[in-house]
Amino acid sequence: MDLNEFKLQTLGIDKSKLGKVYSFVDFGNVNKWFGKDVWGWNDYKLSGDEKLIIDIEKLSFFLDLFSDKKFFYYGFDNRNKSSLHMSVVAGKNGFKSVTKPIQWIRHYLTSDEESIYGNSLLSDMIRADEKGNFILIPKCNFDVEICLDIVRTQEKYNTVCILTNDNDFAPLLDYLRKRGKKIVLIYTNPVRETLLNKAHYKINAQCVKSSICGIKKSSETFAEYKKRTSP
């Protein structure tokens, strides 16, 4: 048994029972999973200017341990061409990259929110129109695209791996089980039992933190992080 087989065994996954596996990653959501963590791995405590992010290259390598095809969903900002960088990196690491423009939604501030934003480093985010003061909130939901791709490709795989803790996917997993598909669920807390119970294999993301995360200095760009961490 090699190291990779041992890693899967410790996670309770028998690759020989999965058949062909397609994996689906909503990166915008998954990349927030470790945002509040104060510990990395191997008992390393993060310093004040460090945070955990999903390392796309490491995530790709981990999914390749049992996946035959990987889908990557991430939005881009029309006003910032460099925002396409993540999708480009994903493509270079073997993902089928799916992207679309981010929508910017106006959130009108209450008096309490105006006080909080106005007295913080976020004050330059405040805009105004005839309705009052507002901030722009990015929104780019890929739930529909993910569901459509999972259903559209269902004749090509035996097992779906999905990274989510969103209970909205529970009906989709029910649909797949009724069609004889196996489900690998990689999730983070909080998560509902109604979602967990749909999966044949469950992996808490905290258990694979060292396999899918990198440590990024809060003041450095993603490109600087990759340059610092590359061999």
Q: What is the pLDDT of residues 146-171, one digit of tens each?
A: 999 999 999 999 999 999 999 999 99
Tell me what the mean pLDDT of segment 60-79 comes to: 94
Residue 144 CB neighbours (<10 A): 8
**CATH at 55:** 3.40.50.1010
Tell me the CA distances in angstroms from 102 to 78, 110, 140, 155, 164, one per residue in order: 7, 24, 5, 31, 20
pTM: 0.84
Which pLDDT score, from 0 to 100, does residue 157 have?
Answer: 98
- Residue 117 lies in domain: 103-139
Q: Torsions phi, psi of 167, nearest 5?
A: -65, -15
CB 201 within 8 A of CB 13: yes
Tell me what the mean pLDDT of segment 106-132 comes to: 77
- Cβ-in-10-Å burial (0-12, 13-18, 19+) of 15 comes to middle
Q: Which residues pair with 135 in a beta bridge?
A: 107
Spatial separation of the C-alpha atoms in residues 24 and 179, rounded to whole Å: 18
> Which DSSP letter does residue 205 get?
G
Q: How many domains does the chain have?
A: 2
Shared-domain flag, residues 50 and 67: yes
Report the candidate in 231, 187, 222 with the shortest Cα–Cα distance to residue 56. Answer: 222
Which pLDDT score, from 0 to 100, does residue 119 have?
Answer: 62
Spatial separation of the C-alpha atoms in residues 180 and 39, rounded to whole Å: 39
Shared-domain flag, residues 93 and 109: no
Shared-domain flag, residues 176 and 218: yes
Shared-domain flag, residues 74 and 166: yes
Which pLDDT score, from 0 to 100, does residue 104 have?
Answer: 82
